[in-house]
Structure formats: structure tokens, C-alpha cells
Chain A
Amino acid sequence: MKRVALLGMPNTGKSTLFNRLTGAHAKVGNWPGLTVELLSARILVGGDMVHLVDLPGIYDLCGHSEDEAVVTAFLTQNVLDLAIVVLNASQLERQIILLGQIVRPGLPVILVLNMADEAAALGVTIDRDALSSDLGIPVCLISAKYGQGVEQLHALVATALRELAPAEAAPANGPLLDDGALDAALRRSVMVPAHASHALTEKIDRVLLHPWVGLPIFFALMYLLFQAVFFVGKPIQDAMNWALTAFRTAVLDPTFAALPTVVGGLLLDGIYNGLGTVASFVPLIILFFLGMAIVEDTGYLSRAAFLMDALMSRFGLDGRSFVMILMGFGCNVPALMGTRVMRSRGLRLLTMLVIPLSLCSARLQVFLFFIAALFPSNMGALVLFTLYVVSIATAMLTSQLFKPRFVNNDPFVLEIPPYRFPTLRQMVFRGWHEVAHFLRRATRFIVAGVVLVWLLTNFPSAAVPGSADTWAGQIGNLLNPVLGPLGIDPKLTIALIFGVVAKEVVIGALAVIYAREGGALMNAIASEIDWVQAYSFMLFALIYTPCLSTIATIRSEARSGRFTALAIIWPIALAWMISFAFYQSARLLTAAT
């Protein structure tokens, strides 16, 4: 099968073109000589199946960034029948140098000028035929987003592959293009108006990047995004929970009734309920992905980065990190996957270490419950606010501490694209891809975690599930010398062990442990612990190990066991220190008065 690769600079719509060409059939896979996985798909071109590979966007082929190394390794270790070079039609002047670096003897190339609609709106005119004959390679103008010109690209690819007889691939008589030849070709066939600018973008930027109102607007927009996600997502989440429970009572319970209790319990209480809890979060995750796709595809992400960079650079992060940390307040999983826009591995890892400290919506549910149970209602908002402050403070502390270990080696020079309307197709595509990716990678890991927690809280079989006699209860007792000084008793420790599956499970776990629900559960807890213990518990629950979905995402995104271990151990250590400091000083102060 013929192999075709897509190459191009970042922000040229290369991935959009890939999606346009391949539909939903793309798969990630390993390649010889590469440590990262690449997206590829088999597509039908002119009656033949062709293997199309999407390579990472790169600024040039001589650099040493991770992405550039990947492309160089791919080109040297794999045989390629055709390279499709994707450039932004309105930025040819600077992007054409990449074409010169890719063109080499024996490698047929097609030049795709994407975003032709934007170039036309700018007043850029391109004489395609002249450019093609000057460069000696086929050229086509397309708009991958709207699908214009894609047919023509198909035809060009088919022709290029047909003309490629295997014997001809060897002779070294391909077009060799140096910078002078490229510039000369552009001068003849591309006309750019002297003061080309996106008028609407300039107008919007005057408001959104305004020195005084820019930041308030940014926070207001993010707040609206969150509200929208929960407004749409919460009913879906509730409906899913209801459907999962209904399915269990109607179908699963009767079906598994014949099985031994242990097996049925493992399958239903362990795997089904555990996976159900994670699954009911999937709608929210999808919506957050859509939200992030909007922020990114409209071009607002780079504006947010512009607004926040002055502050974030002091913490070894950049403006984009801030947006992802903020996203983490909704759900850590999409925020972690969103760090892919960062090209520097050091910066990415540092951001990924910080994101799980964001007080996500699952933790919020736990805190709302505890606040309602143990604090007077007029104090509730203040207590919650302090938890958000702690969340941000621990994030800042963590990045400050680990900054020297995760050096950002990528220069902070970012393109600020014109504002664009994301198409529905683009967003759905992205949301689908990201969630499918998450589920594929994380499911096995989450099942293993869910089973482990179920075993810990249900064995030995003589013990009442979730009680002090179970292994979890024994661990709770064993940990009492460590967690006791934080005011966290063995019962709460069991709840924390449950909480590793997903933080909001803590409430359900407490219901099992105390054998009570709702208001009765609140009263039971309030009669056993005081507000100092409750606040210490909330601090610990806020910071300690990320949930299973988050850990699974960290593991698959970082591709490093050591980093994943750090991302688990560091928050636990930090949680202990902060809860200890709070609990002991609060006890001292209350004893003194």
C-alpha cells in the first residue's frame, strides 16, 4: 500500500484536512524509530487504498524540539511515496521555507495552500498555475474547514501516486528548491496587499485584549463557559445515573442473582457501579472538550495566553497553562489532554503536575456536602471560597517548587491567529476523538482500580462491606498514626480510599460506612467529628491523589511511569503537610481560647 504523509507548520489546519480526508476512521499507532504515536488512516484515492499519516506540525526540519525530532525520525526511518505539505495560504511568505526543507530527490510533493477563504478575504491573490510551474510541483488551494478544493486534492494525489513507478523513485532529479528560488516563485505568483489585516479581528482584539477590561472579560467568559457546561451537562449526567441504576435493577440484578454473592458483588457493586460512576462523568467531559475546542479553534486561547502570561511566567508556566488549570476546575481530564498544545515537554509536564490540584466539580460535590453538614449556612460560601484559594495556592506552590526540574525549553513565541468561527463538524469531530481516546486508554486502568477498591472495601468476606473489619478498614487503622494527627479517623480514611475511584464517590462511600443517607448521614457525621476535623478532611480530599480517570490520563499523556508516580505521591505528601499544619494549629488556637 502507498504511504502518504501530511506535513506542515502548526496552525495551518493540517489536522482539519486530515479529518476531512479520512472521516472518522483514523487510528493512533506506533511507528519504527518513534517514541510517540501518530494518527493514521487508510483511505481510498482514485481506486487504490492509501495509508495517510498525520505528522506533528513543525516550524522547521532543522530544529531540536520534540515534534521536529519526530518528523525527522519518521522521514528517515519510513519509506514515503508522497508528502503533502500544508501551508497557510495567507502566510506563504514565511511558511514556504518549510517546503524547501522537505523537498528532496525521490520524494514527490504536493503543496496544499489551506485557508484559501481567509487569504481571499485578506485580498491575497495566488496564481496557482504559475506557482506550480515555478516550483515544479502540483499546487492546490483548499479550505479544509469548509471542504472547498478537497476533491481537487484527491485528484492530484491520485495522479501523483499513479505516475510514481517504483523504478522511478530512485533517480535524484526531483525539484530542489533553495530559499532564493522559493522567494522568486512567490514574487511572481502571490500578491499580498501592503496593509493586509483582518479588520474584524482587530476590532475584537481592541476590546478582548484591552489593558483594563481584557482580564475581567476573560474571567467572565470562562465563568459563562462553565455555567453552560453544567447547565447542559448536569441533567444528562443525572439521566445517565438514573438509566444505569434502572438497568441494574431491571436487568442485571435478576440476571446475576444466581451467581455466588462474591462474584455478583464484584461484577455489580465493583465493576458496574465503579465504571458507571466514571461513565456518568463522560457527558461532562465531552462538554468540556467542546468548550475547549471552542476556546482553541476561535483563536481565543492565544489571547488568554497573552493576558495571563505576565503572571504565569513567574511560576515557570505560560499563559496557556493558566487556561488549562482553569479548565481543571471543571474536570481535570480534558484539561490534562488540552496540554497537548504545548510543544515543550518540560512545560507540559509541569502544567500536568499542577492541574490535578484544581478543585474540580467532583470535589465540589463532596465539599458542598461537608459544608452543609458541619458549618452554619452563613459561613458556607466563605469556607468554600477558602478551599478555592487553597487550590490555587497549592498549584502556585507546586509549580514554583518543581519549576527547576521541568525546564521549559520552547521559546514563548506564539502565533495569534485571526478569530475564526469553529464549525460544528470540527467540534463534534474533536470532542468525539478526544473522548474516544480517553476511553480507549483509560478503561482498562479504571477497571483495575475499581476492582482493587472493591476488594479492599469488601474483604475479608466475613466483614460488613465498608466497615472497619475490611482490608480498607484495617488500612484505616494502620494509617491512624499518620492520619490521626490530621483529625481524620479510620472511617473517613475508608471514604478517602473510595474517593480514589472518583472524588464524588466519597459521599456514597460514607453512606455505606455509616449505613445512612442524606440528612441522616449529615447528622451522623456531625455527631462524630467537629468542624476542625471536617475542614482538615476537606483540605486532604482536595489535594490528595488525583482520581483514577485523572491518573490514567496523566499516565497515557506523559508516557512515563516515574512522572505518574510523582503526580500521585507529591499531592499526597502535600495534602498531609497542609492538613497537619491546619489541624494542629487550629487545635492549639481553639485550646488556647
Chain B
Amino acid sequence: MKKSHAHTLDALHPGETGTILALHTGAELYRRLAALGLRVGKHVRILRRGRFAGPLHVRVGTTDLMLRPSDACCIQVQRSHL
């Protein structure tokens, strides 16, 4: 597995995976993301994106969730190439 440079989560395309490097969010959102499984070191996979700049459908562990691009751009990930 070869790793490339850091991106924000909303820059990933459907089907791509990444490892969370950092979460540059406010405290409230940080806790919510952590409770839903989005924590540093976790692998996330983008399943799809909503039309018209809609939400991202992501999978982390066994949890599927959606978040808006405006929140996803606060999450730094390292894109993984399988």
C-alpha cells in the first residue's frame, strides 16, 4: 500500500479510502465525530456523494454516516492507494 500526501476528506472521490490525520473542528463537532467513530488513525471510505454538492456518505469501521462537505473539509486524511 502506497500513501500519498494529506488531503481534506471532501477531496476524496467515491470508492477512495483514507486515514484520518487530524480533525480541525470545534469542540462540539469534534466530540460528535468521535462518538460516530471519526477519530485520528481511523480508516474512512467514501461510498458516494450527494448531488448538487450534497452530503458525503462515508464508512468508518462498521458505521455508515453522512456529513456535509463543509464539515468534511475540516478533516485531514491521508489518501490510501490500494
B32 touches A63 (CB 8 A): yes
Contact partner, B33, options A91, A309, A413, Cβ 8 Å? A413
B67 CB contact (under 8 Å) in A192, A409, A412 = A412
- CA separation between A418 and B48, bound complex, in Å? 16
Partner of B32, one of A205, A302, A413: A413
**CB within 8 Å of B: which A194-209 residues:** 196-197, 205, 209
For B62, the chain A residues whose CB sits under 8 A away are 90-91, 93, 122, 124, 192, 196-197
Q: Could you say which residues of chain B place their CB within 8 Å of the CB of A481?
A: none
Q: Lowest 10 CB-CB distances: which A-B pairs, in order?
A: A310-B54, A59-B35, A94-B37, A310-B52, A416-B64, A413-B67, A411-B29, A90-B62, A309-B55, A415-B65
Q: Is the CB of A97 within 8 A of B35?
A: yes
Residue of A nearest to B64 (CB): A416
Q: Give the number of residues in A that approach B within 8 Å (Cβ atoms).
A: 41
Any A CB within 8 A of the CB of B1: no
A209 to B50, CA, bound (A): 8
A306 CB–B CB distance under 8 Å: yes
Known A-B contacts: A63-B31, A205-B48. Give 15 more (CB < 8 A): A60-B35, A91-B63, A93-B61, A94-B37, A122-B62, A124-B62, A211-B51, A306-B50, A307-B50, A307-B54, A310-B50, A411-B29, A412-B71, A413-B36, A415-B65
**Interface residue ranges of A389-426 to B (CB < 8 Å):** 409, 411-418
Docked-complex contact A59 and B31, CB < 8 angstroms: yes
Give the distance in Å from the alpha carbon of A414 to the alpha carbon of B57 in the complex.
10
Contact B55 A310 (CB under 8 A): yes
Q: B31 near A415 (CB under 8 angstroms)? A: no
Asked if A413 contacts B66 (CB within 8 A), the reply is: yes
Which of B34, B57, B68 contacts A416 (CB under 8 A)? B57
Given A306-B57, A311-B52, A411 contacting B32 (CB threshold 8 A) = yes
A91–B51 Cα distance when bound, in Å, is: 28
The answer to the question of A249 belonging to the interface, with a C-beta cut-off of 8 Å to chain B, is no
- List B40-64 residues whose CB lies under 8 Å from chain A: 47-48, 50-55, 57, 59-64
Size bracket of the B interface? 20 to 34
Query: Distance (Å) between the CB of B75 and the closest chain A CB?
Result: 11
Interface core residue of A209, A411, A415, A418 (most chain B CB under 10 Å): A411
Q: Is the CB of B52 within 8 A of A91?
A: no
A62 interfacial contact with B, CB 8 Å: yes
Which of B32, B47, B68 is within 8 Å of A313, CB to CB? Answer: B68
Nearest-CB distance from B18 to chain A (Å)? 16
Smallest CB separation, B69 vs chain A (Å) = 9
Q: Which of A95, A196, A416 contacts B66 (CB 8 A)?
A: A416
A411, B40: Cα distance in complex, Å: 19
Residue of A nearest to B56 (CB): A306
- Residues of chain B whose beta carbon lies under 8 Å from any beta carbon of chain A: 28-29, 31-37, 39, 47-48, 50-55, 57, 59-68, 71
Question: In the complex, how many angstroms separate the beta carbon of A456 from the nearest chain B beta carbon?
Answer: 49
Closest residue of chain A to B61 (Cβ to Cβ) is A93
Q: How far is the CA of A91 from the CA of B62 in the complex (A)?
A: 6
List CB contacts (< 8 Å) of A292-341 with chain B: 302, 305-307, 309-311, 313, 319
Residues of B with C-beta under 8 A to A192:
61-62
The digit string for A62-75, where 1 denotes a CB below 8 A from any CB of B, is: 11110000000000
Q: Which residue of A lies closest to B60 (CB)?
A: A94
**B56: shortest Cβ distance to chain A, in Å?**
9
A98 touches B37 (CB 8 A): no
Q: Are B63 and A98 in contact (CB under 8 A)?
A: no
Cα A201 to Cα B13 with chains together (Å): 21
Complex CA gap A94/B60 in Å reads: 10
Give the distance to chain A from B50, nearest Cβ to Cβ, in Å: 5
CA of A411 to CA of B65, assembled, Å: 13
Distance, CA A95 to CA B34, complexed state (A): 9
Q: Are A209 and B48 in contact (CB under 8 A)?
A: yes
* Complexed CA–CA distance, A546 and B59 (Å): 42
Cα-based distance from A32 to B42 in the complex (angstroms)? 41
The answer to whether A415 and B36 have CB atoms under 8 Å apart is yes
Q: Which residues of B contact A93 (CB under 8 A)?
A: 37, 61-62
B contact residues around A415 at 8 Å (CB): 36, 63-65
